[in-house]
Amino acid sequence: MLRDAIRSLAEAKIAPYAAAVDEEARFPQEALDALVAGDLHAVHVPEEYGGAGADALATVIVIEEVARVCVSSSLIPAVNKLGSLPVILSGSEELKKKYLGPLAKGDGMFSYCLSEPDAGSDAAGMKTKAVRDGDFWVLNGVKRWITNAGVSEYYTVMAVTDPTKRSKGISAFVVEKSDEGVSFGAPERKLGIKGSPTREVYLDNVRIPADRMIGEEGTGFATAMKTLDHTRITIAAQALGVAQGALDYAKGYVKERKQFGKPIADFQGVQFMLADMAMKIEAARQLTYAAAAKSERGDKDLTFQGAAAKCFASDVAMEVTTDAVQLLGGYGYTRDYPVERMMRDAKITQIYEGTNQVQRIVMARNLP
């Protein structure tokens, strides 16, 4: 029922704008409005804070179905989870009430600020600092590659509170867009997901109340890594969605396109390509859904399974979308058909929330 509901909404309210959102590199406001109206923009927020209380698998299905028609739009529910999960995992009761309520109502989105110009895969090498000043913390630094920056109202920011302790000297804070000293860089000009703004976030003497720290001082990096164990599965869901969307489109196309007097779907070479695409997508789906179940239960092998799902599904998405372009031939290479957009959008799933090379390091360190 959930899949049917989100698919109907995605087809009717999100798909019609996907090409224009990509072409104009603009935020998919229509998708946000539709998702908020359907209470699907942040389904993971627990019921006690006004949310839908969806479990990890339901959240995956929402993201998958939105990504099937528009990957940029799927970053609304995905990044709302990424940005707010540190508050859910480690925040005080006051912090949860203050920020999860508005998120659930659709009054503001949440972004996640971990990466920096010189701290990507080596996130513990960050330079952003937070200095205590009485009942306040003062933040200074630059965060890079921040999804939905400038549109989101709330930002989970990781900052160094004790430079002598490396990862154990990093703390997490909630920063609001309206806080004095918060500003944003120009939107990055990207290969894909052009409808989701990616910008630098500048923190210039941003003074915030001490109670906006998420968890205890020095626990920010551990919270950030624990968050990613759960949210990598949402990236697997995006990858799954875009792969499915590309297969669905290519399947329809090959039945219509005729060469040598018959539909190209009748040729064994094409049939084998479609069979491989469908088989790999199904394998990715099973891995992703199993990882979502582990996320919900908090299983001890979640770190491995989340990395495996993200890595495998995103590699499949890149392969399947590339094959979909191939199946459409010259038309696949044009912007008149959606598969070239899907291929460009799929690429980022191999890069963000930890590159697939980093996922393999994570898996190797956490072999079951």
Given 65, 116, 340, 353, the catalytic residue: 353
- CA count, 13 A, side-chain hemisphere, 73: 36
- Active-site residue 47, yes or no? no
* Catalytically annotated residues: 353
